[in-house]
Structure 1
Amino acid sequence: MTDTDERFAVALDAGQIGIVQPTGQPRTLELSGRVEPARTTDFQAVLLAMAGHDLRQPLQIIQGSHELLGLGVRTKSEQRLLQRGQYAINCLNGLLDELLGAVRINEHAMEAGLLPVALGPLFQHACHENAEAALQKRIEIRVCPTAASVLSNAVLLSGVLRNLISNAIKYTEPNGRILIGSRRSGQNVRIDVCDTGVGIAGEQLSKIFDAFTRLDSARCDGLGVGLFIVRRAIEVLGHRIDVSSVASRGSRFSIFATRAD
């Protein structure tokens, strides 16, 4: 175990983040394996239902027009209307990001080759992509430095991390924390995304990777495909993912991938 692995392990085991060492036993779920050809049809059906490819350009036009309208705002009622409009635009942008992320992962899934992937830059990139959303909710994202590499596909694994972090932000209250790190586990590297969020109830745990599943529609405006994308990518890569969660304390999503060294 490297020094950074050790520091990450100490942070987890000390209970500084997420659900490690909770009172009582956490609820757990494990998914693993390589996807069968027949399993691709459900994902393709989801993509067809989404039809998000051609929506980005008109949305950019709406955003530009909205900003121009804001230059002439004078009254509080007008400001409130503009705020509502901006909220709707932000929601549409978020949905499009989900759709295009799903399309990108599906495009790479059939040609996914396993090569050494350095985790450090991947962690930083995934964190950077979610930085604005975390800032808006005053959520701290910490990345534990690592020199580890795994046998994976950079595009798919990056998509998995991006969706796990985005999901953690959605279900973590303001002023919460998210930790991303890795540690060795036998011949594998365990990649952890931990949060201090609301957790997942035991009866919901088995459903979280299903398409269009939203555990709390009041908290999350998305389509509910983020964790479905994660499941799809994990199956294609032949990795394993474990979920451990305690209600009101947080969740830990752990990906097990073969060490590249």
Structure 2
Amino acid sequence: MSGLLTTIPTADNHGAFNLRRTSDFQAALLAMAGHDLRQPLQVIQSAYEWLGDRVANNSEKAQLERGERAIGRLAEQLDRLIGALRLYEHSDTIELSHVPLGPLFRRIAGENEIAAREKGVDIRVHVTRCAAASNPVLLEGIVRNLVRNAVKYTDRGGCVLVGCRRSGHDVRIDVHDTGIGIAPQQLPKIFDAFHRLDTARVDGLGIGLFVVRRAVELLDHRIEVRSQLGRGSRFSVFAQASN
């Protein structure tokens, strides 16, 4: 797509600044993502399931469903925090392997199908036999975060497309949406920790794209963003192709 372009390289000239920022971020994760958060969340989920089986009034059911959606958002954010922390814990032991992209795309699209359907957003997956030389866990985390973001920032009637194409010796993995787009002044900030594009429209901690950036750096991949405000965005991850 045409539009404003920003590239996030795998290395930069601001090592001291990034080290300070990532240390602060890691400390925040350690404070927020303690394992004791999981148990009370599971208790609340079980209580809502028990109540859901016993409530007959439509109004009460609607309130329960709102609560269940809120719990789901909390669980998602906790998983993201713990996933981000694990990136730091294992940053010195990254192993690359042959990662087929077709099954990965289908799996992530399936995970987001319900959320997309509730919003009236269509998720489409490009059929491919391409594979990347990457780490399967980290690459899946990258694509998962990009697809989640695309669904969140796309309005009813819009579309999210997940696909890839060869680009020389690399494979370019694209997550393209027809959503709200990114303003020019926002582009340099979108991969910062705790930065949210639109706090009025989307809940969350604003760490999804920071996790993406960190994973891209660890893998020595590259990411580019093209966006037009009001017309959508395309996030492209470049990895070495694997035959």
- Residue 129 (structure 2) aligned to one of 123, 147, 154: 147
Asked if 1 retains the 8 angstrom alpha-carbon contact of 2:26 and 2:85, the reply is: no
Partner of 2:8: 31
State the Cα deviation string for residues 91-145 of structure 1 (Å, max 9, x = none): 2122223223323433443211222222112212222222222122121111111
- Residue 137 (structure 1) aligned to one of 101, 109, 119: 119
- Residue 226 (structure 1) aligned to one of 172, 191, 208: 208
- Residue 54 (structure 1) aligned to one of 36, 40, 45: 36
TM-fit CA distance, 1:58: 1.6
Work out whether 1:167 is the aligned partner of 2:149: yes
CA distance in 2, matches of 1:44, 1:107: 10
CA distance in 1, matches of 2:123, 2:109: 7
Partner of 2:139: 157
Deviates more, 1:113-122 or 1:213-222: 113-122
State the Cα deviation string for residues 23-54 of structure 1 (Å, max 9, x = none): xxx11110111586973534422422322433
SS at match of 1:109: coil
Equivalent positions of 1:37-186 (< 5 A) are 39=19, 41-73=23-55, 75=57, 78-186=60-168
SS at match of 2:186: helix
Scaled by the length of structure 2, what TM-score is found? 0.88
TM-fit CA distance, 1:229: 0.1
Asked if 2 retains the 8 angstrom alpha-carbon contact of 1:181 and 1:191, the reply is: yes
CA distance in 1, matches of 2:172, 2:102: 13
Say how many residue pairs are matched.
238
Deviates more, 1:195-204 or 1:82-91: 82-91
SS at match of 1:257: strand
SS at match of 1:242: strand
Deviates more, 1:94-103 or 1:239-248: 94-103
Q: Alignment RMSD, CA only?
A: 2.2
Work out whether 1:187 is the aligned partner of 2:169: yes
Partner of 1:199: 181
CA distance in 2, matches of 1:236, 1:42: 18
Asked if 1 retains the 8 angstrom alpha-carbon contact of 2:172 and 2:236, the reply is: yes
- Percent identical residues: 54
1:108 to 1:162, Cα distance in 2 relative to 1, 3 A:
farther
State the Cα deviation string for residues 51-88 of structure 1 (Å, max 9, x = none): 24332222121122123233443556544543443233
CA distance in 2, matches of 1:230, 1:177: 21
Q: Unpaired runs of 5+ in structure 2?
A: none
Deviates more, 1:131-140 or 1:85-94: 85-94
Structure 2: which amino acid aligns with 1:243?
V
Q: Unpaired runs of 5+ in structure 1?
A: 1-19
CA distance in 1, matches of 2:111, 2:67: 24
